[in-house]
Chain A
């Protein structure tokens, strides 16, 4: 057998034959997937297509779910959820520092808050922040741990349209600065194209489409959009 050519970038996440099922219903059906280091990947799919199950499997928080296959992921993984999940009894800075210790932790927490535009709000209670600010704080909490892999489960799903646009710019900017591998789960086709370099479509527990977004190329947003919507089985024309 001929030796494999060494990949230039080794994968941060490697899935082989990943299967997960709930009560006999197969949700993930033997998924093979490599996420290269530093790549921004979006995972699209209908609700119930298994995209959250995949993310939770990679995060290692799918306790009690039956399944098989192999999965490797980096040591430092951060997760951003759809809700900010700030502990209501802790002020913003202690929330960002949750699970982090060390002498310079507080300093790093302040820096992370400043980076997401929340400098000066360290002593605020989570309930005093707007929805967008809460999600910024959640981003700071995941960044402060300097993750090699950032998993985001519909992180902007609960935000209003204008706030979402701002958060898109912020996330992309943070990714360019820190370069973690990102897996963004979303059901928003436009969000996926705007943010990611690669878009996967999950259908019936399998990867139905693996699309590379050429950000500098001549391809138009609309072209990607049409292909992705087709893979999702959605028609743009009104019935």
Chain B
């Protein structure tokens, strides 16, 4: 009989080997190669450390306040801009632009992907055109769109919509055309109508791909917003930061960056939460 008692006590190099029982070796645990158990609050530790270093360096007078203002200066500036109402106005303007562009891009992406994914005629008409559109960097269209639509809100919303619709279309269309052929066969055997097939097999099957596109689209809408507001705007968060650059107000620029960061963080968290709810059937696979 082999003994399989594990030993967890540290044995020093000089300690005699444990006596073998009936000629069998005592099992010693192997050296662990994986990183081991997770530390608590891992995700927040790094950012907090950076913040602490920043605050300490500012307090010690090691940082030029003109280049890197102290964290509390940024907070004070943020509060001042908010209570004066300028920050609120700029944030609302930016949110409206991003929201309108995103809504249009989302709708266009879904409609086009469904049309191209569900009919061969739709595929022939749409897919090639979108692939061409995708090859042209959307931000490169800005000069043309300014000439077409003027420098107002319409052109900004149009550019954001294009930035958003492309990843949503591409991922949803790929998911639609990648639906397992076995499920199509099953739907035929079960006598599903075309609309029931779309509702019960195609759409749920394409949702994981759609969510990949949605998250890329959300990120894209913020990226488009930042670029548009910093080059051709007279209002909005990007404009506020652009003005601050002219007057050397680093603290205002940092406030703008913090707000952009919050936009990105909140929207991504929201999309993830929706995804978790809608794709709850997937959790059983990954857990």
- Compute how far the CA of A127 lies from the CA of B201 in the bound complex, rounded to whole angstroms: 17
Known: A99-B187, A99-B191. A85 touches B200 (CB 8 A): no
Closest to B193 in A: A99
Known: A81-B182, A83-B182, A99-B196. A88 touches B190 (CB 8 A): no
**Least Cβ distance of A137 to chain B in Å?**
13
Q: Is the CB of A87 within 8 A of B189?
A: no
- Compute how far the CA of A125 lies from the CA of B191 in the bound complex, rounded to whole angstroms: 23
B281 on interface, CB distance cutoff 8 Å: yes
A71 on interface, CB distance cutoff 8 Å: no
The A61-93 residues at the B interface (CB cut-off 8 A) are: 61, 77-79, 81, 83, 85, 87-90
> Which bucket holds chain A's interface residue count?
20 to 34
Q: Is the CB of A98 within 8 A of B284?
A: no
Q: Is the CB of A89 within 8 A of B205?
A: yes
Closest to B205 in A: A89
Q: Is the CB of A79 within 8 A of B281?
A: no
A59 on interface, CB distance cutoff 8 Å: yes
Binary contact track B195-226/A, C-beta < 8 Å → 1, others 0: 01000110011010000000000000000000
**Least Cβ distance of B22 to chain A in Å?**
36
Note all chain B residues with C-beta closer than 8 A to A176.
none
Q: Is the CB of B183 within 8 A of A85?
A: yes
Task: Select one of B187, B192, B201, B284 contacting A125, CB under 8 A.
Answer: B284
Q: Is the CB of B190 within 8 A of A98?
A: yes
Note all chain A residues with C-beta closer than 8 A to B285.
88, 127
Q: Is the CB of A87 within 8 A of B284?
A: no
A190 on interface, CB distance cutoff 8 Å: no
Note all chain A residues with C-beta closer than 8 A to B183.
85, 87
Q: Is the CB of B182 within 8 A of A87?
A: no
Task: Select one of B200, B282, B284 contacting A128, CB under 8 A.
Answer: B284
Task: Select one of B189, B196, B279, B284 contacting A61, CB under 8 A.
Answer: B189
B185 on interface, CB distance cutoff 8 Å: yes
Q: Chain B CB within 10 Å — which of A81, A83, A89, A100 has the most? A: A89
The A115-153 residues at the B interface (CB cut-off 8 A) are: 125, 127-128, 141, 145
Task: Select one of A81, A125, A141 contacting B281, CB under 8 A.
Answer: A125
Note all chain B residues with C-beta closer than 8 A to A88.
281-282, 285
Q: Is the CB of A61 within 8 A of B190?
A: no
The B48-74 residues at the A interface (CB cut-off 8 A) are: none
B186 on interface, CB distance cutoff 8 Å: yes
- Compute how far the CA of A204 lies from the CA of B169 in the bound complex, rounded to whole angstroms: 47
Q: Chain B CB within 10 Å — which of A59, A83, A87 has the most? A: A87
Note all chain A residues with C-beta closer than 8 A to B284.
125, 127-128
Task: Select one of A78, A81, A89 contacting B204, CB under 8 A.
Answer: A89
Note all chain B residues with C-beta closer than 8 A to A99.
187, 190-192, 196
Binary contact track B265-281/A, C-beta < 8 Å → 1, others 0: 00000000000000101
Q: Is the CB of A85 within 8 A of B281?
A: no
B89 on interface, CB distance cutoff 8 Å: no
B153 on interface, CB distance cutoff 8 Å: no
Q: Is the CB of B281 within 8 A of A89?
A: yes
Closest to B182 in A: A85
Q: Chain B CB within 10 Å — which of A85, A128, A145 has the most? A: A85
**Least Cβ distance of B205 to chain A in Å?**
7
- Compute how far the CA of A71 lies from the CA of B10 in the bound complex, rounded to whole angstroms: 77
User: What are the 8 closest A-B residue pairs judged by CB atoms, nearest first?
Assistant: A99-B190, A89-B204, A79-B189, A85-B186, A99-B192, A89-B281, A127-B284, A125-B284
Chain A interface (Cβ within 8 Å of chain B)?
59-61, 77-79, 81, 83, 85, 87-90, 98-100, 125, 127-128, 141, 145
25 contacts between A and B (CB under 8 A): A59-B189, A60-B188, A61-B185, A77-B189, A81-B182, A81-B185, A87-B183, A87-B186, A89-B204, A89-B205, A89-B279, A90-B200, A90-B204, A90-B281, A98-B187, A98-B192, A99-B187, A99-B190, A99-B191, A99-B192, A99-B196, A125-B281, A127-B284, A128-B284, A141-B190
Known: A81-B186, A141-B190. 4 other contacts (CB 8 A): A83-B182, A89-B204, A89-B279, A90-B200
